[in-house]
Structure 1
């Protein structure tokens, strides 16, 4: 059995870059990778026919519900391979809440299959994951961000090996992640708000590159979220309550009805009290995932 771990990815702000060639499409922007995300297990069994099975959190899902992962698997598994391929994906965050689950599932699937069949390099497999993410409007920049890790700035759009990613230096921060609801990436990318996102995202990117610090990232992320109108209503009110006990502003996860913040150790208990007062029970306090995704043979624990 092969195991992969792909970090969850939070986008702080972004600029979509569309292209007829999905390997050239992607996004500019910035975000952070977490030490929680997608754990994927790949198992191969003998058989007389070629079958691919995908499961989310232990429950089998059909091709329509996991189109991206099925497409990745179908391309990487050799056509002559006969037998059962089981792909088990387990998510630390709920699907559709903005934490890069579809990209994590696609990338984990691609890397695990490339590892076992030895027919693709790390970058080639990652590009296949990116391609199907873009074609199915699951996301634009998550795969390349998850490949690089850390607190990243996407300075050139495209798939891994084509796009360019830089990283922000940082020390001693935890990440608060509060999943509050679903938001369709496809619906946002197909709406008129994209024009505002492009303007605000370019402005935020220019300012972050002038002063690449976590403090600046969060200030720009919050401005982007409010100026685009994406952060509003109850979500904005919760963010304002969190801000009362934080040194840096909280912001919205792009794209999901979720919030995130950078915390110092002394702020954690105060944040937990605020969330308790707001009757918010589901949240995670994570470390930043600094490295590349993990791919390894797994025997079990």
Structure 2
């Protein structure tokens, strides 16, 4: 059986971490955007093997357990204890790993949903909770999973795993999203640092403003202020953001957490933005639509690619 899951990439615009000893009650408040590019997970299950074997690959390359501990942990919990055979999990990412686009959560959620579809022992939410649990436990992220199962431009108004946390959506029209990955940033290092207290303070202010006026225009203004006031958006990234702003109606901002920038684009801003990026010698960027659905889970037929 071959199964395919698509999980949207997720950009966090700002956030407030909420830690708890129970990972299902941990998470984050904040807001973000789901994109129509993201993580495609293919799972092949062969029940003819003589022993239980799980293999995970990133972009076609097998990875060791220590390098994919979140997805391996999800798989081990999702696969029934009595199962004997081989499970191959192939994760393909549209965005580079470690740049803040929710790849870790995409891989974990895609793995959980595909195995729930295959074995029929967990519901959609139960599978998503398992992905969230290991994301929190291994500090891959706090709010990506619950955001990715809702889609759209989302506001996380109550922290926690899917089915526990609460997500709302900002209604919008006429925008695409520019994403510019510039470098890696460790989510774990930021969450373990002293800047967390400042993030909590500025995030609370940002969330209050967006809830009062739930529009993408307000979202981008408070996201930029959050990025600068927390000291996360500085140096060359800030300089590039200011150059991009010259082409845009709304300010650009920093992807949380990654050395990447993002912005909302109107149709008439796309070409001049591309020209600006060329002038800045930036070749690696993405222009995406916003994904407004749940992750897609389906049986995959050979020859469908």
Q: TM-score, normalised by structure 2?
A: 0.98
How far 1:214 moved relative to its partner? 0.3
1:227 maps to 229
SS state at 1:64 partner: helix
1:120 maps to 122
Large movers: runs of 4+ above 2 Å = none
2:280 maps to 278
1:167 maps to 169
* Distance in 2 of aligned mates of 1:286 and 1:11: 15
Say how many residue pairs are matched. Answer: 301
* Distance in 1 of aligned mates of 2:86 and 2:181: 35
1:157 maps to 159
* Distance in 2 of aligned mates of 1:265 and 1:14: 28
Question: What does 1:62-141 correspond to in 2, within 5 Å?
Answer: 62-141=64-143
1:243 maps to 245
1:11 maps to 12
| Alignment of 1:37 onto 2:59 | no
1:290 maps to 292
In the alignment, structure 2 segments of 5+ residues that lack a partner are none
* Distance in 1 of aligned mates of 2:286 and 2:248: 16
Cα deviation digits, residues 81-106 of structure 1 (max 9, x gap): 00110000000001000000000000
* Distance in 2 of aligned mates of 1:257 and 1:271: 19
How far 1:185 moved relative to its partner? 0.1
1:264 maps to 266
2:28 maps to 27
Question: What does 1:182-197 correspond to in 2, within 5 Å?
Answer: 182-197=184-199
SS state at 1:166 partner: strand
How far 1:263 moved relative to its partner? 0.4
SS state at 1:41 partner: strand
How far 1:171 moved relative to its partner? 0.3
* Distance in 2 of aligned mates of 1:126 and 1:257: 27
* Distance in 2 of aligned mates of 1:71 and 1:12: 28
How far 1:113 moved relative to its partner? 0.1
The CA RMSD measured in Å over matched residues stands at 0.4
* Distance in 1 of aligned mates of 2:183 and 2:86: 35
How far 1:203 moved relative to its partner? 0.4
How far 1:172 moved relative to its partner? 1.1
SS state at 2:67 partner: coil
SS state at 1:148 partner: coil
